[in-house]
Amino acid sequence: MYLNKLKIAFLLAVLTFGIPKTQAAINLGVAGPANWTVLTLGGNIDVSNVNGLIVGNVGMTTPGAALTISGSADVFGKVYLEHNGTVSVSGGSTTGTIYGGLSGTGGNYSQDVYLTSVKTAALNASTTFAGMASTMTVPGNAITGSAAQTIHGGAGVNVLNLSALTISGCALTFDAPAGATFIVNITGSFTLSAGADILISGGLTPFDIVYNTIGTGTTVNWGGGHNPNHPEITPPIVNGIVLAPQRDLNFAPGNIVGEAIGNSLNLYSGSYIKGFTPVPEASTVYASGIVMVVAGLTVFKRQRSKE
C-alpha cells in the first residue's frame, strides 16, 4: 500500500507539473543531473520489481547493455542506448522515446558518440573529485554505526574524504548554507541498511552534494525495506548525486532523490530514483490530477516521517 501511494504521487506530480530543470551546482558536465537521472557506464539496468520507478532520463554507455523492466515498474523518461543495446519490458512501462540500440529511434549506432562523451565526463568528474584535499574530517575518517549525526559545512566547497560510509537505522544529515557544495569521497564501502537515510539541510539541494565512490571496490548496497510489522522502518533515501562509475549499484530497496551513476544498476523491491531532468513526451495531463497530487504527496510525507 505504501509503495503504491508513493508511486502514484510521483507519477501524478510528473504528469501534472513535469520535473523542474535546474542548473546543478556539482559539475559533471554532460553527465550531470540536468540531463540524466540514471547512467550506467559498464553494465545493465534491471528494474524488476513491483512499483519500481525511475523518473527522468536513462543512459547506458556500453554496447549491448540491456535495460530490463518488469513487475509493474516504470521508467518515466527517455532511454539512450549504445549500439546493440536492448530494452525489455514485461509488466512495466517506459513513457519516453528510446534512442539508439537495436530497436530505438535513429538507428543502432545513432547515440554512440554522444554516450561516449557522457561516459568520459562522468569518469573525469570522479577523478577530479577524488583528487581534492579534505576541508574537514571526522573521527577515524569514516562514518559508521547507527547513531544519528549531522555534518556541518560552511560556505563554498566542502570536501570530506572517507574510508567508508556504512550506517544502519539512522539519519546522516549534511548541512550547509545556500550556494555551498559537498564533495564526499568514499574509498571503501558505501552501505545503508535498516532504513538509514542521508538527508540535507540548511540551503543545500540534491544538486549540491555528490557521493563519489572511488575505484572498483565493493558494490554500493542499500537495503532494509518497509516492514508492515515495523512501520517505523522505511527504505533508505539518499538526497544527492551517487557517482560510482566503477562499482555496481544494488538497491533492494534503496531510493535516491538526485542522480545515480554506476557501472550497473539493480533496482529492486519498490525502489525509486527521482531525478530532476524534464520528463519528455507525457501524452496527457488531467486537470483533476492536481488534487490527486496533493493528496498523494501528503500520504507519502506522512508515511516517510520518522519518529
Reported as a single tens digit per residue, the pLDDT across 181-194 is 999 999 999 999 98
So what's the pLDDT on residue 232? 53
Q: How many domains does the structure of the chain reveal?
A: 1
Residue 223 Rama label (left phi>0; alpha psi -120 to 50; beta): beta
Query: Is 252 among the domain residues?
Result: yes
β-bridge partners, 88: 68
pLDDT of residue 227: 47
Q: For residue 252, how many C-alpha atoms fall within 13 Å in the half-sphere facing its CB?
A: 10
| pLDDT category of residue 233 using cuts at 50, 70 and 90 | low
- In this prediction, residue 51 has a pLDDT band, given cuts at 50, 70 and 90, of confident
Which grid coordinates are listed for 14?
510528473
Higher pLDDT, 136 or 194: 136
Task: Say what the pLDDT of residue 190 is.
Answer: 98
Predicted TM-score of the model (pTM): 0.85
130-148 mean pLDDT: 97
Report the length, in residues, of the chain.
307
Q: In the structure grid, which three cell numbers stand for residue 77, read together?
A: 523518461
Q: What is the pLDDT of residue 49?
A: 77
Between CA 236 and CA 243, with CA 240 as vertex, the angle to 5 degrees is 100
Task: Give 235-301 as a 3 state SS string.
Answer: CCEEEEEEEEEEEEEEEECCEEEEEEEEEEEEECCCCEEECCCCCCCCCCCCCCHHHHHHHHHHHHH
Report yes or no on 202 lying in a domain.
yes
Report whether pLDDT(11) > 70: no
Q: What are residue 172's DSSP bridge partners? A: 149, 198
Rounded distance, CA 270 to CA 276, Å? 20
Split at pLDDT 50, 70, 90, the class of 259 is very high
Residue 35 lies in a domain: yes
Span of 97-101, 113-117, 199-203, 281-285 with lowest mean pLDDT: 281-285
156 domain-assigned = yes
Question: What Cα–Cα distance (Å) separates residue 105 from each residue in 35, 76, 96?
Answer: 18, 17, 11
Task: Decide if 247 contacts 216 (C-beta within 8 A).
Answer: yes
Sequential DSSP letters for 79-144: EEE-TT-EEEEES-EE-S-EEETTTSBT-TTTTHHHHHHHHHHHHHHHHHHHTPPPSB--GGGEEE
Say if 288 falls within a structural domain. Answer: no
**Which domain range does residue 147 map to?**
19-281
Q: Which residues contact 139 (CB under 8 A, 6 or more apart)?
A: none
Does residue 294 belong to any structural domain of this protein? Answer: no
Distance of CA 116 to the CA centre of its chain: 21
Q: Of 207-221, 222-236, 269-283, where does mean pLDDT reach its minimum?
A: 222-236
Q: Average the pLDDT over each of 12-21, 25-34, 103-112, 288-297 and give the range with the smallest value.
A: 288-297
Place of cell 549500439: 83
The gap from C-alpha 114 to its chain's centroid, in whole angstroms, comes to 21
Task: Specify the pLDDT at position 24.
Answer: 58
Q: Is residue 201 part of a domain?
A: yes
Is pLDDT of 141 > 90?
yes
Instruction: Name the pLDDT band for 66 (thresholds 50, 70, 90).
Output: very high
Asked if the structure places residue 287 within a domain, the reply is no
Please name the helix (run of DSSP H) or strand (run of DSSP E) that holds residue 8, with its range, or none: helix 2-17
Task: Give the separation between CA 159 and CA 191, rounded to whole angstroms.
Answer: 20
| 48, 87, 198, 229 from 252: Cα distances, Å | 11, 21, 16, 18
